[in-house]
Amino acid sequence: MTQRLLRGTNVIVAGAGLAGLTAAMTLKRMGAKVSVIEARDRVGGRVLTIRGAFTQEQHAEAGGDFIDEGQHEIKRLAEEQGLTLRPILQQGFAFVRHPGPNRRRRRILSGEEAWDTLADMLCPLVTAYRTADKRWDSPIAGQLARQSVAHWLDEIKADSNMRAVARSLRGFFLADPEELSLLALVDQLAGVAPGQAAMYRIEGGNDRLPLALSEHVRQDLLLNSAVRAVYQDRDSVRVSIDTPNGQEASLQGTYVILAAPAATLRSIHMLPPLPSMQARAIDCLRYGRTTKALLQFDKSFWRRKGRPRACGTDAPTGAFWDANEEQAGKAGILTLMAGGQASEDTQKIMAQRGVEGLVDALDWMGSRSATLLHSRVVTWEDDPWAQGGYAYFDPSFDPRLRSWLARPHGRIIFAGEHTSMNWQGYMNGAVESGFRAAEEVCAMVLKK
């Protein structure tokens, strides 16, 4: 019965990341005809596992990295596809404060010590936000949204330690305290503190999930094809695309799911145009500057008793963590995650000294005792189909607009991590939105 539910329905899915592929697989199982269009030459979107660049058959994640304990949608989907999750970084994230003009020594704090400092000060705001059911259209959300984290720190006369902890969160939010809305921080702390939940990766690489999903639509997948325009009328949609040979073509369907970042949606012409509130939501959403460096050494010098394997830092090179502790081999891969201004700082270091500049920045951890074997650096703001790591909310974003990011526009449905209310910025948010988009198509068909 389920396989016949959407028979006769033709759905075009733009985007072969986790959101688009989850939606496509779900719709195909319901009997719909599905066509998946992807601008890149691969599936996965911002899930990118680097293989072949490292010795001993090791790999590391240049994109989406962690699956948290409470992220049930992606965990169930991975299990359904026959994939295994491996626990990682079981000590969670700690915090390293680096030396500065008035500070000679580094200071390492446990995650609880670091984040509790912020959480304690934010407790009244978190409580008020929870009382409002964490609604982004509530008065408290509006008040929090208009203020940056940096402004709040000034307001409470925060000391240098608290400011350093807040700066370290750019490795999580991909935005500096001056850029990040206070609402975004309160919303996160109303759930789980950054880096404190149990974390997992997919055994063999996170890209095994989009690759497995793509097998369900292998005959219906068109790569190297970018959507340029979407036209809809009462009964159908027409999607204009640039094909691999450089020609323009069009696809006709019953519905279209746009499973692409808001940054790329802005360049797609839609007729009839989006409602003004929806257009504003898409136009105002920001994406974090992100440079991710994967460094393989002949030994894992950072793995020492009593030392955390993952740390947020206020350093120019950003946060770092063990990228392959669950893999075999004597070599080890360390991830440097530079978000916000740290992304630009990391690029400057690379321009001046190459990857050796990053290695030297790890000298305090013992990098000179090891030999750098291989490296791979990915800067997501340079990717034309991402234009950043993932979405974040700055003080200019009206929180009442957030629900518009996921709202259907006639026969156009939207998906992607930026549309998720519960898991925005996570791979799980993309998966969750893909299921939701498929359900919305189903509801529209059944309503007819």
CB 65 within 8 A of CB 309: no
- 303 touches 334 (CB < 8 A): no
Burial degree of 366 (CB within 10 A; 0-12, 13-18, 19+) = middle
Residue numbers in the known binding site are 38-39, 227
Please give the structure tokens belonging to residue 370.
């090891």
Alpha-carbon gap, residue 332 to 374, rounded angstroms: 10
Identify the helix (H) or strand (E) that includes residue 145.
Answer: helix 139-145
Q: How many CA atoms lie within 13 A of 123 on its CB side?
A: 5
- Residue 70 has which token pair? 């409470």
DSSP 181: B
- Name the burial class of residue 91, with classes exposed (0-12), middle (13-18) and buried (19+) by CB atoms within 10 angstroms of its CB: exposed
Report d(CA 38, CA 15) in Å as an integer. Answer: 5
Distance between CA atoms of residues 185 and 429, nearest Å = 17
In eight-state DSSP terms, residue 367 is G
φ, ψ for residue 89, nearest 5 deg:
45, 55
For 382, residues 6+ apart whose C-beta sits below 8 A from its C-beta are none
CB 46 within 8 A of CB 15: no
CA-wise closest residue to 410 among 241, 232, 251: 232
Q: Which tokens hold the place of 82?
A: 């026959």
Q: Distance (Å, rounded) from C-alpha 36 to C-alpha 38?
A: 7
Distances in whole angstroms, Cα of residue 122 to Cα of each of 19, 88, 132, 276 = 33, 29, 16, 34
How many residues does the structure list for the chain?
A: 448
Annotated binding site for FAD: 38-39, 227
